[in-house]
Amino acid sequence: MSLDNIVSKIEGILRSKTKQGFVGIWEDEHKMIAAAHEARKAGCTKFDAITPFPMHAVDEAIGLKRSYIPWVTFIFGTAGCLFGIWFTWWTSAVDWPIIIGGKPMMSFPAFIPVIFECTILLAALSSVGALLFICGLPKVDPPVIDPDLTSHKFAIFVPEDDTFYDTQKLEKIFKDHGATDTRKTEF
């Protein structure tokens, strides 16, 4: 396989999978949140909000459920702990037993730091991994709806496969709540 092939394959993986949909853009975040509540009432469930900074009320407004990352952390942390116990036992008491300081081969107090680190390592790496996986990161070419969305504007994007997708009704909801711009777009 040539280098070009490999590069284009990686690029293909990193390229974002976009959806067609309908977007509303606001300059006032409170109006955007009100519109998000309204869109949810209308039946949207898969829509997303794009804001330049994290906002508390948004997760509630778009009905965001808690992610499953804590479970990944817990399960991998437990796995790391068990691995640490097995690994310290296997290396120090089975495969290459050496008496150190007159302590027993399997000395928990001495191994707890190692077991602890294994727990933390697996829990942390798996959490970051799960986060990247859920968010589809890294992306090389995220579509730009509006460059101001990273500075002072707020948007709601409703994908076309949402449970409620009626551009005319959505446009009315968005405009009624003070959207400065509404249009079909890709995200």
Partner 1 sequence: MGHSHDTPVDVKDPGTLQVSSKLKTLYSVLMAIGVLAFVVTLASGNAERAWHAYLIGLFYTVSLALGGLFLTSIHHLTRAGWSVNVRRFFEAFTSYLPWAAGMAIILLIFGAGHLYEWLHKEAVESDPLLQHKASYLNQTFFWIRTIGFFGLWIYFSRVLVNGSLKQDQTGDASISERLGKVAIPCILIFALSYSFFSVDTLMSLEPHWFSTIFGVYTFAGLFQSTIAFTILVIAYLTAKGRLNGFVNENHLHDLGKFLFAFTVFWAYIAFSQYMLIWYANLPEETIFFEPRSHGTWGYVSVALILFKFIVPFLALLPQWAKRSLNHLVAVSFLILIMQFVDLYWLVYPNVGKEHNLVFGITEVFVFLGFMGLFIFAVSRFLSKHSIVAYRDPRIAESMHHHVVY
Instruction: Give me the residues that bind partner 1 (CB under 8 A), please.
Output: 54, 56, 59, 66, 70, 74, 101-103, 109-110, 112-113
Minimum distance from residue 56 beta carbon to partner 1 (Å): 5
Residues 6+ apart with CB under 8 A from 31: 177, 178, 179
Identity of the residue, 18 or 51, whose beta carbon is nearer to partner 1 in the bound complex: 51
Report in angstroms how near the CB of residue 109 gets to partner 1 at its nearest: 5
Size (the chain), residues:
187
Q: Measured from the CB of residue 19, what is the shortest distance to partner 1 in angstroms?
A: 26
* Residue 28 or 171 having the CB closest to partner 1: 28
Q: What is the dihedral sign for C-alpha 64, 66, 68, 70?
A: positive
From residue 72, alpha-carbon distances to 86, 97, 118, 173 in Å are 21, 34, 15, 38
Residue 45, H or E segment: none
- Nearest residue (CB) to partner 1, 34 versus 170: 34
Q: How far is the CB of 7 from partner 1 (least distance, A)?
A: 38
